[in-house]
Amino acid sequence: MKKKLAILTTMFALFVSSVSYSQDDITEFLEFGQHNASQLVRSYVDPLGHSLGNNMNSGWYNTGQAHRLGRFDFRFGIPVTFVSEDRRTFVFDPNDYEGLSLVDPSDNKAPTIFGSKGDGPLVEYEGAEINLPPGTGIGYFPIIPPTLQLNVGLIRETEIMIRYVPTVSVRDFSTGMYGFGVKHGIKQYIPFIKHIPFDLSIIGSYGNMSVAYGLEYDPLNNPDIDIDEQELDISATAYSVNLVASKKLPFITFYGGLRYMYSDTRFVMAGDYDVGTEVITDPVDFNMTSSQFGLNAGTRVKLGFLSLFVDGTWSKYSSITGGISLGFHN
């Protein structure tokens, strides 16, 4: 049997090799031809693209107050995005495909990668009947290990944020991430509220993440195919703009605000593949964008140099983020 590939595990266990949710090899979509494979992969991984961007836009702050000049902290956070039931399936429309049809037209809901573990609808292609692959049965998506973030205070209620995950390689996959952000206090510019005891800031962030996962697909043992060059490449960029207010009390801070999130994720099945009667280079290559607004609220508990924080974001793809920070906090 071909090597198993889980796109979710590509991201979910790209850091934790002990987590292993097996999924039918995504390259098997190529058996339906290049056009059909591209359409099926896009529908199958659609919620993954949204969830990845959502996680990358989470956890940038735990207060609306910018660090004072010279203050800093190192932060570790784990964002988890939850996938709603209606995004764990997609409607299979035969009009979107070439020569691919449903055996039972009423059975047209197929699992996405976050769908149930049961087989998908039975489809017919070139006289053969085959079930579309199942999902993983996982309805949430974390990024592990925690992202490492450094926050440093500058002048005039301005703080810079730098996020980094070094390149990690585990078996056949590797990944790395970086990002940066800026927080700036805006209450100082509003005369009628500048002396009220709360903090108000605008925060902008940018993140970039890349993943490579080795594939092995050569069902006909074609001598022109080099399986060592085959891999699934996922690259994502994410942006967010946040308006955040917070109230600091002894040992605890409450914060919340509005967030706009945007992400662009590219999925490429890189390398040469035998598709039907021809060898095609990079048979699957598409971009997926996500844009959404959300409401965010959370709390931070300060224990000297150590702080613990947790917050939630309510949006089309809701999430929760928890973490710790160490340093000279305000």
Looking up residue 139, the CATH number of its domain turns out to be 2.40.128
To the nearest whole number, what is the mean pLDDT of the chain?
87
In the predicted structure, residue 313 carries a pLDDT above the cut 50: yes
The pLDDT score that the predictor gives to residue 6 is: 43
Nearest to 217 by CA among 270, 173, 162, 273: 273
pLDDT confidence tier of residue 175, bands split at 50, 70 and 90: confident
> What is d(CA 237, CA 57) in angstroms, rounded to the nearest whole number?
10
For residue 211, pLDDT over 80 is answered with yes
Domain extent, residue 20, equals 7-328
Q: Which has more confidence, 328 or 293?
A: 293
Average pLDDT in the 74-92 region?
93
pTM over 0.85: yes
The 10 Å CB-count burial string (b at 16+, else e) for 94-105 is eeebeebebeee
Q: Cα 243–245–249 angle (5° rounding)?
A: 160
34 part of a folded domain:
yes
Determine, yes or no, domain membership for 322.
yes
Q: What percent of the chain has pLDDT over 90?
A: 62
- Establish if 1 belongs to a structural domain: no
According to the model, what pLDDT value does residue 145 have? 60
Where is average pLDDT lowest: 25-29, 103-107, 165-169, 252-256? 25-29
Of the listed ranges 128-137, 233-242, 261-270, the one predicted with least confidence: 128-137
- Please tell me the distance from the alpha carbon of residue 204 to that of residue 34, in angstroms, as a whole number: 39
Comparing 190 with 16, the larger pLDDT belongs to 190
First to last CA, the chain: 57
Question: Between these two residues, 80 and 169, which has the higher pLDDT value?
Answer: 80
Answer yes or no: is 105 within a domain.
Answer: yes
Given a cut of 90, is residue 270 above it in pLDDT?
A: yes
The verdict on residue 279 lying in a domain is yes
Query: In total, how many domains does the chain have?
Result: 1
Average pLDDT over residues 6-21: 40
What's the pLDDT at 23? 40
Contact predicate 306/287, CB 8 Å: no
Could you tell me if residue 153 is inside a domain? yes
Classify residue 2: in a domain, yes or no.
Answer: no
What is the rounded CA–CA span in Å between residue 315 and residue 51? 11
pLDDT given for residue 25 in this prediction: 57
Q: What is the mean pLDDT of residues 106-115?
A: 92
| Per-residue pLDDT tens digits for 142-164 | 876 677 899 999 999 999 999 99
